[in-house]
Structure 1
Amino acid sequence: MAETIHVRGEGGQTIEMDLPLPEPIADRLTKGQLRRVNADGSPYTGSPLPSADAGALEEQDGHVPGQTPRPAANARKAEWVGWAVDVHGMDPDEAESMTKQDLVDLPDQPQQPATPADVQALAASDGRPAEDADKSEWIGYVVRLGKLSAEDAANYTKADLIEIAS
């Protein structure tokens, strides 16, 4: 009897598949377009890929089970797509549309969303005035950015200057 796994398809159905998987199915599983699940459809916590290599990947230093480790630089694009989907939470189609080099250039971990305090600190670090600053400060900022001359900037409203600076 052949070894089997269960896979959740794009439509949400659970499918029992014999190993070894056909190459197109294995690529879709690698890319994150399909997900390995338990027979009852619950999330599978082991390696998503049923191979001897997958077991070795789980033992790599720094790998957290359930999270795809960063592929080797010479890995196939499908492995990079799967990594981007698992680690960065990207849509499989979006990751597939990227070049392999764009995927390789992604950081090891996704960046945390900026908090309002982070945005304000970043704005202050580049000399950007606060939203409630005088119009004259916004004129100076837009001129420093090279977006408008001082004479032209004076003809805009403060709201327009904030928009131009964005």
Structure 2
Amino acid sequence: MAETIYVRGEGGGIHAMDLPLPEPIEERLRKGMLQRVNEDGSPYTEAADDEPTGAGKVPEPGTQVQGLPLTEPSKTAVKADWVGWAVVKGANAEEADGMTKADLIEKYGTPSS
């Protein structure tokens, strides 16, 4: 049986989606154009059942909340991951999607030493 998640669409409606998500939906979720939520529309946060949560816990690279990354993606990550990171940093999802991956890394990435 497929796992079901709930996604808030661009128009604000809540949609039940079975995993795995279709590729275009998955990409829009990573870019921040869609938002993963609970069935009632409240914000979704991902936490493993056997791991304690709390202040001071450092998220693993690639960890996501509501489909958006908590940590900066690697320079070799796909553009969609960088669009999602730009959204986390305050960018508009559509504007970030219009930028090149190199521009996203330059503007929203940690400067190289």
TM range (shorter): 0.7 to 0.9
Counterpart CA distance in 2 for 1:18 and 1:65 is: 18
* 1:2-48 deviation per Cα after TM superposition (whole angstroms, max 9, x unaligned): 1010000000000000000000000000000000000100011227x
Establish whether residue 99 from structure 1 lines up as the match of residue 100 from structure 2.
yes
The 3-state SS of whatever aligns with 1:95 is helix
State whether residues 86 and 108 of structure 2, in contact with CA within 8 Å, keep that contact through their aligned partners in structure 1.
Answer: no
Sort the Cα spacing of 1:43 and 1:65 in 2 relative to 1 into closer, same or farther, 3 A: same
Normalized against structure 1, the TM-score is what? 0.53
Structure 2's unaligned 5+ residue stretches are: 48-58
More helix by percentage = 1
Q: Name the counterpart of 1:90.
A: 91
Cα RMSD, aligned residues only: 2.4
Q: Which amino acid aligns with 1:29?
A: L
Over the matched positions of the two proteins, sequence identity in percent amounts to 55
Q: Name the counterpart of 1:9.
A: 9
Counterpart CA distance in 2 for 1:45 and 1:102 is: 29
Normalized against structure 2, the TM-score is what? 0.76
The 3-state SS of whatever aligns with 2:17 is strand
Task: Provide the aligned length of Structure 1 versus Structure 2.
Answer: 97
Q: Which amino acid aligns with 2:104?
A: L
Q: Which amino acid aligns with 2:76?
A: N
Sort the Cα spacing of 1:19 and 1:83 in 2 relative to 1 into closer, same or farther, 3 A: same
Q: Which amino acid aligns with 2:78?
A: R
* 1:107-131 deviation per Cα after TM superposition (whole angstroms, max 9, x unaligned): 458xxxxxxxxxxxxxxxxxxxxxx
Sort the Cα spacing of 1:37 and 1:104 in 2 relative to 1 into closer, same or farther, 3 A: same
Q: CA deviation at 1:99?
A: 1.0
Sort the Cα spacing of 1:42 and 1:97 in 2 relative to 1 into closer, same or farther, 3 A: same
Structure 1's unaligned 5+ residue stretches are: 48-57, 110-166
Counterpart CA distance in 1 for 2:45 and 2:64 is: 7
Q: CA deviation at 1:59?
A: 2.2
Q: Structure 1 runs of 4+ off > 6 angstroms? A: none
More strand by percentage = 2
Q: Name the counterpart of 1:126.
A: none
The 3-state SS of whatever aligns with 2:107 is coil
Counterpart CA distance in 1 for 2:17 and 2:76 is: 29
Q: Name the counterpart of 1:26.
A: 26
Q: Which amino acid aligns with 1:34?
A: L
